[in-house]
Structure formats: C-alpha cells, structure tokens
Structure 1
Amino acid sequence: MYYNTYGYQNAVNGKYDRQIKPNRLTVTGEGTVTAASDEAIITIGVINESPNLSAAQKENADKTAAVIQALMSLGIPQSDIQTYVYRIEPQYNYENGQQIFRGYRVEHQLQVTVRDISKTGQVIDQAVAAGANSVSSIQFTVSNPNAFYNQALTIAIRNAQEKAISMARALQVTLQPVPVIVQELSQPLPPRPIPFQAAMLAQSAETPIQPGENKIMATVKVEFTYS
C-alpha cells in the first residue's frame, strides 16, 4: 500500500497559486468462496506391450473400446469421453551394454468428465474391470466456477474498501468512497488434481473417493483518492 501527495506552486502576478493533484491511496483486497465439488475429471487408460506393432495396437484398441463401453453403461455420454494421450514407443532391454529391441508400448489415455460426482469411485472400478490399467489423476471442480469467482471478486472489493477506510481514519483524512481504479489481479483457478495411487486398482470394493471442497480466491488492486 502507498499514498502520495503531489503539488506545485506557480507565481502569478506576484502571488502564489497552489494547485494540488488528488492524493492517492492504493490497497489490495482478497476474497475467498468455498464451493463443494460437483464434477470430477478422471484420466484413465490402457497401456500394453507386444513384439508386434499391429498386435499391440489391436489389443489396446479392443481394451479401450471395452473401457468406453463400460463408461457409457454408467450413463456417461460419449461427448464426455475424449482421447487425452495416444502414443506408441519402441521398447528396449539393455544387456551387456547392448540395446536389444523388446517390442512396442501403446498407451491410450482417456479424459472422462463425471457429472454425477457420487459415481466417481464406481467409474474407476468399472473402467478397471473392463481393462483399464492406468489411472493417472482425478481433478475435482465445480460446474459453474465463474459464478463463485464473481462472488469472491465482490468480497475482495469490499475487503479493499474496508482497508482503505481504516487507513483513512488512521491518517485523519477524508476518503472519497468511489475508487478511481479497480484492477483484477487474479484469475479463476483450474480444477485441482488429486494424485491416484496405482495400488488402489487392486481393491475389490468400490474405490472410496473424497471430493472435498474447492476454495475459489480473487484478488484486486483498488486506488482511492482522499483529501
């Protein structure tokens, strides 16, 4: 925070005419809103190897198709299932300092949006049962983050106003209530990723997933004038 006083005097007809620019007081305001997660974004896929590239691709395609079918059977529309990563890599063993070709590794990762968050654990289990062997992350978010972010912005501006009023009282000056500059410093946060442990894939009961809450924060820089 800072405040500056600007002034100068000009001699006019032997008299000094004092002109003073408005004094400025700059503060930052912060606001936080807590929102319960109502969506999950899961990255899940199939990884396999084979000495033959065509065989590796076919095996991967068959298992991925089964995973997609399992997801759709849970009510997830195909529009909420999209390819996130697809790669083919040659694999080698190293023996006695020599590189020996082992086969091909095919990886197909899907990004799945689960709009009924209570089904998150079930989605993972069904996908694994259908052939998925990779669950790299789960991201929890809210379906309408902008609404919550706008609430946080409102709180941030009020916080800045309260700070400015307190400072004006301490300085014993008169604060103009309408700011001259309001600058948004923050941006809505992306979904928060949750690391997923591969060991959980071995569970036979439904995988327990705790979505928790999202903290949506906003920060503003506000400039007031005072006299």
Structure 2
Amino acid sequence: MQPHAFYAAAPQPPIGALVRHTVPGRVEVTGEASVSAEPDRAVIVLGAVTENASLSEAQAANTEAVNRIIAALTALPLPREAIATADYRIEMQYVYEDGKQRFTGYRVTHLLQITLDEPSRAGTVVDTAVASGANTVTSVSFRLARPQPYYHAALSAAVQEAQRKAGTVARTLGVRLSPQPQLVEELSLVPEPIPYQTAMLADSKVTPLQPGTLQVTASVKVVYAYS
C-alpha cells in the first residue's frame, strides 16, 4: 500500500481583506525656489556692416568704421580688454533678375562684444558706438558675473520646500518617513541672462537700457522611503 502525502495549502486572505506589504513605500516630491538678484554685468554685441562691389574697399571701409568705434569706446573710458571681436564675415551678394543670379558685390560684417561691469553704462556705450559708425546692434543682455552664490541659495530653499512637501504627504497618509532621503536630484541649471530687444536701437536718439532684476531659480526631486 502506497503511503499518502498530504500538503497544506497556504492560507488565503478573505475577499476584501487588507494586505499589508512589508516593502517600504516611496514618496517622490519636487521643490522649487527662486532668488532675486540685480545684474552686475552687461554684454553688448554691435559693429559695422559695409558693402561694396570691391572686396578691398568693403574691407577698408569696415576697418575704418570699427577702428572709430573702438577709439570712441576706449575714450569713454572703457578698458581695451573689455572689447573683443565676436564675429567677422565676408559674404558675396547676389540679386535675381529675370530668373538669373547676378553678382552685386561683397558684404563685410565685423561684430564686437563689449563686456561691462557697470550695467548702467550700457545705454551710453550703445549711443557712443552708433554715433561713431556702428550700424548694427545684435544684442544687449544683462547677467550675473558670479551667479553661483545666488543659485546655491535658491537650491537650498528648493530642498527645504521638497522636505516640507514630503512631510505634508506623510502626515496626510499617516505614515512615517525615513530620516534621510533616498535620492536628491538637481533638476535645474543656472538661468539665462536677460536679453534686451535691440532691433531699433540704431535708430534711437536715446537708448534707455534698464537692467531689471534676474530671477535665479533652482528645482530638485527628492525621494523618501516610508513605512
């Protein structure tokens, strides 16, 4: 006679019963904060564009205009090291007549980048350059020379905001958070500078450039375990 084997089935919870998991849960929150800062640097890009059927004459006229601009800016006074070439291009110009392309000459563009540690002087610099021969103003932007301290302050405030959010979630759910977060991830970057619209600057008699205020923003993702 063969022996009988008996197997005990694992007890199953009744239908509708609450099953508690022993694996800790996770609370994931984000935090964001901003810090206001006054810009302490202005960056201006402007220069001269000349056209002529002769390349040498277009270059000569451009060189003369740019030299006048540099001389006028350094006489403000402005340190020579604050002025640097941002772009230099020579382009062939064409027109289309009766479906045919016809060469008309050359365009020479020389752009200067001017860095100011006194943003309030930006308007004076633009006006001086335009009066001295600049016929294109590409951009004016205001920024921070050292954004890191402001960003670190915003980052600290963002982490604290995430901690407060996690605490609110835990109290609402009636759970206990782990003492330390499992993950803290930085989501943001140092902000872009404030651009100033420059399309009509060369035609303006007065250039009232106002730096305004920068908002340095940081955001983080924080993950806590709870039980």
Shift of 1:19: 8.9
In structure 2, C-alpha distance between the alignment counterparts of 1:117 and 1:83, rounded to whole Å: 20
1:31-79 Cα shifts (integer Å, max 9, x gaps): 1111111211111010010111011111111111111122222233222
Matched residues in 1 for 2:163 and 2:76: separation?
49
Paired residue type of 1:173: V
Q: Deviations over 1:139-164 (max 9, x none)?
A: 11111111111111011001100000
Give the CA deviation at 1:176: 2.5
- Within the alignment, does 1:218 sit opposite 2:213 as a pair? no
Q: Which moved more, 1:155-164 or 1:54-63?
A: 54-63
Tell me what 2:193 maps to.
Answer: 191
**C-alpha root-mean-square deviation of aligned residues, in Å?**
1.8
1 CA distance for matches of 2:226 and 2:113? 53
Q: Alignment identity in percent?
A: 44
1-side partners of 2:80 and 2:97: how far apart? 45
Q: Does 1:107 align with 2:109?
A: yes
CA pair 123-170 structure 1, distance change in 2 beyond 3 A: same
**Residue 26 (str. 1) matches residue 28 (str. 2):** yes
- Matched position secondary structure for 2:86: strand
Deviations 1:115-145 (A, max 9, x none): 1111110000000111100001111111111
- Per-residue CA shift, 1:71-112, capped at 9, x if unaligned? 222233222222111110111222222222211000011111
| Residue in structure 2 matched with residue 176 of structure 1 by the alignment | 178
Secondary structure in structure 2 of the residue aligned to 1:124: helix
State the match for 1:10 in structure 2.
Answer: none
Does the aligned pair in 2 maintain the 1:32–1:217 contact within 8 Å?
yes
Unaligned runs of 5+ in 1: 1-13
Unaligned runs of 5+ in 2: 1-9, 11-19
What is the number of residues matched between the two proteins?
Answer: 209
- TM-score between the two structures when normalised by the length of structure 1: 0.86
- The match for 2:67 among 65, 68, 83 is 65
1:133 maps to: 135
